[in-house]
Structure 1
């Protein structure tokens, strides 16, 4: 079982960065919830625990203590950047004490490659810092900065829910590759004359449902969920 501790940055009284009518805390929560949903819906043997699932205030100590006490395998903190309106792009961080050959750095390399493959942002590189959530976690940890909220081009992307879904998928792609996560078999709905007859994972069950209705139905649709 892979245990991911997912940390949407900021929240509650802490808005994080602001710009272009948006607040970082809302964007980080939205992207994090999307990451959680993809993992839980599409992958086997994954547990996701989040530092927050609503707009609540959580201290840095509460976040890292919770992850450590839960025994997470990986800590992933989602953030959005802000500066002076001129900087733009994506960057990520591991703790400054770690070497580039450490296990955490190897995970980071995979995550960085998968996220930048899809996010359509300027690549600002792989970085290190002494952030609390990277320093005080007992497991490997990564903090991602997904665009600059105060840059007009990045803000346009951040405002788009389809882009946020793509970014979430990029994070999931990295996690799946880094930790060898296995996909669930897809679910198929069998719809007979406009009414769902059932939903199945196994091919034989799908075929059986079609066969049961073949003689009486005017229209049978098999639809991947």
Structure 2
């Protein structure tokens, strides 16, 4: 029972981490993408649904174990694969079934406890704000970085210059050629010069002086 309790506690810890991740993502979407104010009570339904959904997954796993136990009972031949259980696996399967059911029950109790739900939301909020803060700090470091303060400046400068020579400059030259060709094609053709007036085969313009 001690090992079973430890396994249940570990399963609850993993499920709680998954719930915090899901709630954190929801907080980021609602407060940043949708520009909504943070209200813990607004996320309570989603937090409860997340916990119940994780509990349902554990119950489904326990039901699968029960079916596998029924198929394994009375079989003493060699298994054909990893999940081809035999009678000698009954004890381990029973233990795993209890663990899955125990985790499911614990998660449902958490979902029914307003204090636990609120604590989960606050932890998720702290994680969300931590992500935002880390992103802002990275952006500020990049935008405010001076060459003498960047330890990788000299090492990366050669790569940046090579990228300019091999990628940016040829792309700019190709763009200019395309622009020049487009202007040439769009320019109107020059009108031919009007022929000089002639009278009886004589170029009249030659008489003008």
Shorter-chain TM-score: which interval?
under 0.3
Larger Rg computed on CA atoms: 2
- The structure with the greater share of residues assigned to strand is 1
TM-score of the aligned structures, taking structure 1 as reference length: 0.26
- The structure with the greater share of residues assigned to helix is 2
TM-score of the aligned structures, taking structure 2 as reference length: 0.27
